[in-house]
Amino acid sequence: MDKIRIRGGRPLQGEIEISGAKNASLPLMAAGLLTDERLVLTRVPVLADTQTMALLLEQHGIAVERPANDGHTLSLGGPITNTEAPYDIVSRMRASILVLGPLLARTREARVSLPGGCEIGARPVDLHLKGLEQMGATILLEGGYVNAKAPNGLQGATIVFPLPSVGATENLLMAATLANGRTVLANAAREPEIINLCDCLVAMGAQITGIGTDRLTIDGVASLHGATCAVIADRIETGTYACAAGITGGTLHLRGGRLDHLGALVSTLAEVGVEITATDTGITVQRRNGLHGVDAMTSPYPGFPTDMQAQYMVLMSVAEGASMITETIFENRFMHVPELNRMGARINVHGASAIVRGTPWLSGAPVMATDLRASVSLILAGLVARGETIVNDVHHLDRGFETVERKLAACGADIERMT
């Protein structure tokens, strides 16, 4: 298994190109199931998760081609020949559940393995299933699989989510584009990735209003057609490198990064002492004097993103003063804390909150990551630690960050991958 070795203490200076967003690419790829015509997606990051989604689409019968040399353009097309999403693929990547809505809308039946829990929490999919039932589907859970049928097609419905779920919003949105009549999704999630999906569906012929709000109205159409859509820049990768600049006391230009997609992160980082400004080609991040401890609580977009919580905790670990970080989205997302404490951080967890007491420096150590964002937080810690840090077993990292070690090394970090 690959490892990453970092020798800390160098301020980062330079430019990093932000990749297309993993969490936008996965639903956009699933949207390829909504038409037999070609859906061309550009700026798809080359990651383990996008490769898993390509594999899943292929076994549904979709041809996945990569016409450009860089591998970042995917051309999807062809009829669905198999409506089953098997356990061995779904267990690798939970976002596989996103094929359920499109398969059911297109073929009126689907058999999709239930994803089960994961490292960061139980992560049920009840809202996906209840929404499809409200749209007239019959759902039977059997042998670890969701067996869904809608012999007369899905029917438009008004669905009020008890909480804004990103995945359930995406699944039901895609299903509703081909349903009979009008569907309203209220208290829907409104992450930039959902806007990206809506824009792409509209380019494919879907009728959607309320895009960017928490109330989406979808008027079903008989069929969708091919289109070309670009994946938005990854806001979590952007935020992660912004933290890297802050932690190391450097200045980074993040090409393609979008200030308007960072939500509450911008004002929180400004209070900490990390300034983010928009430029013509992206954003510039710069540390101003010292770092100050500032509390943060995760919440749905545009609140502070749960996918930035671990990285922010490293920033707080080396800031002056104490801060409280509260995780409200997932119940087990502090698995990075014991590893950060092994590197000299002073963090205590009490239920859903972590108290972080800043310390002037961390110390390098061999560490192990348990999930994607935790892995990259350990890399950030390594950048500011004295001595050598070895981040073991980086397969989680490869699910969501494109060439992280090359991007950081190009800005002066002493970092290398050991295979």
Helix (H, G, I), strand (E, B), or coil: what is residue 42?
strand
Q: CA 391 to CA 370: how far, in whole Å?
A: 11
Cβ nearer to ligand EPZ, comparing 190 with 373: 373
A 10 A CB-CB count for 212 gives 11
Residue with tokens 């009020």: 160
Residue 21 or 385 having the CB closest to ligand EPZ: 21
Instruction: Tell the smallest beta-carbon distance from residue 306 to ligand EPZ (Å).
Output: 5
Reduce the DSSP state of residue 198 to 3 states and report it. Answer: helix
List residues near ligand EPZ by CB under 6 A.
23, 26, 95, 121, 123-128, 163, 165-168, 189, 306-307, 329-330, 372-373, 400
Asked if 172 and 101 count as a contact pair (C-beta separation under 8 A), the reply is yes
- Would you say 40 or 97 has its CB closer to ligand EPZ? 97
Closest contact distance (angstroms) between CB of 94 and ligand EPZ is 6
Q: How far is the CB of 248 from ligand EPZ (least distance, A)?
A: 23
Burial class of residue 289 (count of CB atoms within 10 Å of its CB; 0-12, 13-18, 19+) = exposed
Query: Minimum Å distance from CB 173 to ligand EPZ?
Result: 12
Would you please indicate which residues are annotated as catalytic (active-site) residues?
118
Considering the complex, state which of residue 28 and residue 95 has its C-beta at the smaller distance from ligand EPZ: 95
Give the Å distances, CA to CA, from 172 to 33, 102, 226, 280.
14, 9, 20, 36
Residue among 64 and 401 whose Cβ is closer to ligand EPZ? 401
Total residue length of the chain:
419
Cα(302)–Cα(298) distance, rounded to whole angstroms? 10
Provide, rounded to whole angstroms, the least separation between the CB of residue 261 and ligand EPZ: 13
Residue nearest to ligand EPZ (CB): 167
Integer CA distances (angstroms), 143 to 91, 109, 112, 117, 137, in order? 14, 17, 11, 16, 19
Show the tokens assigned to 56. 């899943």
